[in-house]
Amino acid sequence: MSVPDSTGLPPVTGAWRAGDPPGRRQWFRPGVVRLESGAEVPDVEVAYETWGTLNAARSNAVLVEHALTGDSHAAGEVEPGHPSPGWWDGLIGPGKALDTDQWFVVVSNVLGGCQGTTGPSSVAPDGRYWGSRFPQVTVRDQVAVEVELADWLGIERWAAVLGGSMGGMRALEWAVMEPERVGALMVLASPAASSADQIAWASPQIHAILSDPNWQGGDYHAGGPGEGPHRGLGVARRIAHATYRTAEELNERFGRRRQGEDDPRFAVESYLDHHADKLARRFDAASYVLLTRSMNGHDVGRGRGGVRQALRRVTARTIAVGVDSDRLYPAEQVRRLAEDIPTARYAEIASPYGHDSFLIETEQVAALVKELLDD
């Protein structure tokens, strides 16, 4: 896990590992998971967290889906087992948009992730790390596991399913795969299918990690501090983070200012370096590759007669939310998604912060969440 050691080097992986403090995590163990590819993953564990209380009718459950480097810790402070505060902390809790006095909120760590759910950094049944042996998963595989979690929790129908970015992909798949089980849907800053441009931005990120000498073909997890592919992961994060924000914000915030008299870096370089180091201490490089490839493969129309035909399956009351400054998943993509879902309306967040606005613009997102749940 991302616990600093005396060397100051990043851990071999920032993944949560058995023996680390559990924090607020609970676990569901579905056993063998069969993937679309035909591969099987035995002894799967799914980490999840909940807030609020499931009512007697089991009708007040809301599923929140995390993005690429998110996890089940959507609300709460930094604590043992949780190196980062809740990524939607401003939205989940008593009196907030997802009012936990009214709603039972569930957030699970995605299959292939690294914060308590089985993935490449997990130990396989043979006692060795999964590493390169972990099979590729699709967004549909991830949702299929969440369906099993819902069954286990006794939730026949979600009052709402919400997610942004990669989480929006899974939220959308829920509404297409299991339309009768989703009452309301919110897809934020996420398309019906990943475009060539988005896959192109992801490609150098993947190659940066695979080219790191410490990648070791994906089998690095048994190493010590500094022995993981943290340099490649850091490059990937720098590329990604630049797409998450806007040119206008970076120019206004940093300009051409240098970091300091004794630091020749531009301030914006220091900013990206900070985020790269931070991610290496809380995330796993192999999960980053695996999940990025899952996002590249996202296409709700695959095997369903195309996107428009697939989206006609959605019966949930839907708000598709774009961000006016998003250069990774442009608002126009989200608008088209809304046009193809019979029950959808389009809404747009106005922000200088780009793609990350679904995490930053709490007031605007909260108003939309309340609208979705109050109807």
pLDDT on residue 79: 94
Catalytic residue among 165, 194, 325, 351: 165
Distance CA 63, CA 47 (A): 14
pLDDT on residue 3: 45
Secondary structure (DSSP) of 217-280: GG--TT--TT-SSHHHHHHHHHHHHHHHS-HHHHHHHHTT-EEETTEEEEHHHHHHHHHHHHHH
Catalytic residue among 284, 351, 355, 356: 355
165 is catalytic: yes
Geometric angle at alpha carbon 171, from 244 and 55, rounded to 5°: 125
Q: Going residue by residue through the chain (375 aa), what tens digit of pLDDT does each one get?
A: 444 455 789 999 999 999 999 999 999 999 999 999 999 999 999 999 999 999 999 999 999 999 999 999 999 999 999 999 999 999 999 999 999 999 999 999 999 999 999 999 999 999 999 999 999 999 999 999 999 999 999 999 999 999 999 999 999 999 999 999 999 999 999 999 999 999 999 999 999 999 999 999 999 999 999 999 999 999 999 999 999 999 999 999 999 999 988 999 999 999 999 999 999 999 999 999 999 999 999 999 999 999 999 999 999 999 999 999 999 999 999 999 999 999 999 999 999 999 999 999 999 999 999 999 997
340 is catalytic: no
Q: Where are the beta strands (DSSP E) in 270-333?
A: 317-323
pLDDT on residue 302: 98
Geometric angle at alpha carbon 60, from 58 and 64, rounded to 5°: 115
What order of strands is seen across the sheet that includes strand 160-164?
26-34, 40-51, 104-108, 61-65, 160-164, 184-188, 317-323, 344-349
pLDDT on residue 5: 53
Catalytic residue among 141, 326, 340, 356: 326
How many Cα atoms occupy the beta-carbon half-sphere of 151 within 13 Å? 9
